[in-house]
Chains A and B, each alone.
Chain A
Amino acid sequence: MMLENKFNTNVSRVISGRELFSSRRLSISRRLFLKETLNSAAISLAVSSGILLPMQAFASWNEAAFTASNLQTAIKSALGSDLTEASNKITIKAPKTVENGAIVPITVSSSLEEISTITLFSENNSTPLVAHFELDKDCDAFISTRIKMGKTSNVVAVVSASRKNYSTRKQVNVTIGGCGS
């Protein structure tokens, strides 16, 4: 929860109210509870009346996850839990072999319902986390981008759907690395 909290400091999450009831805060006093509830109500009012547009508050950058040097730690820091269920409902479209690791086109799509985030990892990079995408509920489970890969490695896509993490991996052979080499 602490990790998740660090991760989501943007307004929409703060006002979701979910964390008010999280275990971390169960012990807080009633006074503090009321105060925080009122504060978040004020923020949501500001958002709905257009005083404080959520677009102006850029999401924070999860430094712990982006600097983690192995895949498990990176997944845990990025998603709050390193438990992922292997799923065949996620497709990674990537070349089998690339000559130049500096540009590896990756497309992730999924048939899972209620997708909230798609996170990309390249297992053998010095810092495996590549990118984390938060998608609106109107968005299809689809992301296409280009990534750098230091060496031959698995590309891991973790899709978070209905508050569960699903993952799939695909190996990409790299002939020339693209990360700091």
Chain B
Amino acid sequence: MAEAPARAGARQHPRADSREESNPLLYCALGLMVPGLGHIVLGRRGTGAVFLVCIGLLFVFGIGMEGELFPFEAAAPLTLLAGMAELGAGAFYVAARMLGLGAGNPEAPTYEYGYAFLIVAGLLNMLVVLDAWDIATGNKGSEEDGAAGGEASGPAR
């Protein structure tokens, strides 16, 4: 009977204690910088890789479709919001800015698709960051990949 608590404790993920000690904001910051990095550091490598590839390709295709990285203009609120959404792509956004990409070509047939891809990439990464927060704080993920025997990760509680 006395072993029950010990067994329950033994099912915890080895990193659970270290997660509780570390700041969840760290994982969010990592995820915001590089899509999926927060999940990878949390031990969910497969999930993080999916986010990195999907968001990265969304951003790359958005640039390739001649989408625009919108400037931060306070006088144009919608443009400002679009720019902030695109900023959510983190390293991809910074790299595109540094390489001088994302000027956008409104005359291109794919211009609207392009900036839609860029905006969705940024917004999707913001959701991913919130997901990393939930995992790091133990609010989500007790059976990560258990059904298919995927990556080794477990509860953060």
B and A form one assembly: no
A interface residue numbers (CB < 8 A to B): none
